[in-house]
């Protein structure tokens, strides 16, 4: 059944959709090193299997020529078009995302919903004119991924430093918080996932 969905050539390290669990969906070009890292680390943070979907093209009409940024909503819409056999979808893209009213977003999630998206654009040292640092990019991506997936599981923002569910508006805030849930979020999460 799953074989029918296999595209002609899968990038190395990528598997086809698992029938359940968290599915990571790259949009456009995303470093394999980041995807593989997220797959391994997210599986330690959540009680679900994590799998990698093959890359999808950037959604048509998501680019705003005036802002030179991509609207995040079409990405979430694309995730909802995928076969509905995943528990959660996390989109990952290298392009810069925005929602109306904000200069940019690191990511967006449907609260207690099925889909979330993160952007690596502003998690890169290169964005700030500094030398690229793959490990920093992996670590920041993980924090954003855990944060947005936390939202999809129903968690709201938290004030317990350095909980991963703290709101962050700047790269410095991303770097200050950890990739872990605080005990309070952890216990809410286990209640939520028990009933899911
Ligand atoms: Zn948030
Ligand atoms: Zn917390």
Tens-place pLDDT, residues 9-25? 444 444 444 457 999 99
The predicted pLDDT at position 45 comes to: 94
Q: What residues sit around ligand 2, an ion, with C-beta below 5 angstroms?
A: 158, 160, 163, 165, 182, 185
Q: Has residue 161 been placed in a domain?
A: no
CA of 19 to the centre of ligand 1 (A): 27
Closest by Cα among 110, 108, 126 to 118: 108
2 is catalytic: no
47 falls within a domain: yes
Whether 184 maps to a domain, the answer reads no
For residue 185, the ligand closest to its alpha carbon is 2
Q: Report if residue 195 sits inside a domain.
A: no
Question: Within a domain: residue 105?
Answer: yes
For range 60-64, the mean pLDDT: 95
Q: What is the mean pLDDT of residues 52-68?
A: 96
122/136 Cα distance (integer angstroms): 12
The residue behind tokens 């918080």 is 177
With a cut of 50, say whether residue 48 has pLDDT above it: yes
Domain assignment present for residue 196? The answer is no
The yes-or-no verdict on residue 6 having pLDDT over 90 is: no
CB 156 within 8 A of CB 165: yes
Smallest-distance ligand from the CA of 148:
1
- In a domain, residue 82? The reply is yes
CATH number at residue 19: 3.40.390.10
Sheet holding 97-98, edge to edge: 63-64, 69-71, 97-98
- The model's confidence at residue 99, banded by pLDDT at 50, 70 and 90, is very high
pLDDT at 85: 83
Give residue 11's pLDDT. Answer: 42
- Which ligand is the nearest neighbour of the Cα of 177? 2
Reply yes or no on whether the pLDDT at 33 is more than 90.
yes
Alpha helix (H) ranges present in the chain? Answer: 32-45, 73-81, 134-152, 171-176, 183-195
Running DSSP on this structure, what letter comes out for residue 69? E
Asked whether residue 79 carries a pLDDT value surpassing 80, the answer given is: yes
The share of the chain scoring above pLDDT 90, in percent, equals 84
Give the residue numbers spanning the domain of 107: 2-156
Distance 12 CA to ligand 1 centre (A): 32
Confidence of residue 129 (pLDDT cuts 50, 70, 90): very high
Determine which of 1-10, 11-20, 68-77, 160-169 has the lowest per-residue pLDDT on average.
Answer: 1-10
Confidence of residue 183 (pLDDT cuts 50, 70, 90): very high
Confidence of residue 131 (pLDDT cuts 50, 70, 90): very high
Q: At what angle do helices 32-45 and 134-152 cross, to 10 degrees?
A: 50
Total domains in the chain come to 1
User: Does 180 reside within a domain?
Assistant: no
């Amino acid at each position: 059944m799953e074989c029918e969905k296999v595209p002609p050539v899968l990038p190395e390290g990528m598997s086809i959709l698992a029938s359940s669990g968290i599915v990571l969906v790259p949009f456009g070009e995303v470093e394999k090193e980041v995807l593989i890292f997220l797959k391994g680390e997210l599986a330690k943070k959540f009680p679900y299997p994590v799998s990698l979907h093959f890359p999808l093209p950037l959604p048509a009409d998501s680019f705003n020529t005036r802002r030179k940024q991509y609207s995040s909503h079409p990405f979430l819409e694309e995730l909802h078009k995928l076969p509905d056999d995943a528990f959660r979808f996390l989109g990952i893209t290298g392009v810069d995302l925005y929602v109306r009213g904000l200069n940019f977003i690191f990511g967006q999630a449907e609260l207690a919903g099925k889909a979330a998206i993160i952007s690596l654009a502003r998690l890169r040292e290169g964005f700030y004119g500094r030398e690229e640092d793959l490990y920093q990019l992996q670590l920041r991506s993980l924090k954003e991924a855990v944060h947005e997936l936390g939202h999809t599981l129903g968690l709201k923002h938290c004030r317990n430093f350095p909980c991963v569910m703290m709101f962050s508006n700047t790269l410095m805030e991303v770097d200050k918080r950890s990739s872990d849930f605080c005990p309070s979020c952890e216990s809410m999460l286990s209640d939520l996932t028990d009933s899911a």
